[in-house]
Amino acid sequence: MSANDHTTAHEEDHSGPIKTPKQLLAVVFLSFVIPVFVIIALVYYVTSDNKLAAGAVDVDKAVAQRIQKIGTVEIRDASRPLKSGAEVYTAQCAACHATGAAGAPKFGDAAAWAPRIQTGFASLWNSALKGKGAMGAQGGGDFEEAEIGSAVAHMANAAGGKFAEPQKPAAAAPTPSGAAK
């Protein structure tokens, strides 16, 4: 092998893939253009709305849960006739008092109701309105306090009590506009 052959082989080993100025310009141009397009694609992906990953939370659902109403206002007809004690018992009380669930005294069971009847109607009515033991408060629900009282009287009377059903309080009479105050 001659010295000349060795030098040529050595120079070819150290040359890069870019052999001409045209190739150099193309590589430089692409090294700027490709990252710009990659950045644009990433920005588009991050700002797009339709990309729920596994385990991700639906933003619309989360917002709806955070701003849901926490209370309601119910306007009732104050002039409607009161329901009877039997109607209120059937609708509200029978679920527990018909079966004796959670220790509730059964409807018509004189032995279970006797100690409760001895406490008086006001005590029974108060227990029904505010709750006692496993029984939740019944006041403020679907029925007026007088209707709950009617149901209490109905249940107690079925077990031997002698309570009169409470009546709806009379509305205050309007004062004449010309009367002195």
pLDDT at residue 169 greater than cutoff 50:
yes
The full 3-state SS of the chain, as one line of letters, equals CCHHHHHHHHHHHCCCCCCCHHHHHHHHHHHHHHHHHHHHHHHHHHHCCCCCCCCCCCHHHHHHHHCCCCCCCCCCCCCCCCCCHHHHHHHHHHHHHCCCHHHCCCCCCHHHHHHHHHCCHHHHHHHHHHCECCECCCCCCCCCHHHHHHHHHHHHHHCCCCCCCCCCCCCCCCCCCCCCC
Is the pTM higher than 0.85? no
Mean pLDDT of 56-80: 76
CA distance 181 to 174: 12
Question: Looking at residue 181, what is its pLDDT?
Answer: 44
Percent of the chain with pLDDT over 90: 10
The residues facing 132 across adjacent strands are 135
Mean pLDDT of 168-177: 54
pLDDT at residue 34 greater than cutoff 50:
yes
Q: What is the pLDDT of residues 131-165, one digit of tens each?
A: 877 777 777 677 777 878 888 888 888 877 777 77
Question: Looking at residue 22, what is its pLDDT?
Answer: 92
Q: With bands split at pLDDT 50, 70 and 90, how would you rate the model's confidence at 172?
A: very low
pLDDT at residue 104 greater than cutoff 60:
yes
Q: Within a 10 A sphere around the Cβ of 147, how many other Cβ atoms? A: 23
pLDDT at residue 80 greater than cutoff 60:
yes
Q: What superfamily does domain 85-158 belong to in CATH?
A: Cytochrome c-like domain (1.10.760.10)
Question: Looking at residue 133, what is its pLDDT?
Answer: 77
Question: Looking at residue 63, what is its pLDDT?
Answer: 83
Q: In the chain, how long is the greatest CA-to-CA distance? A: 134
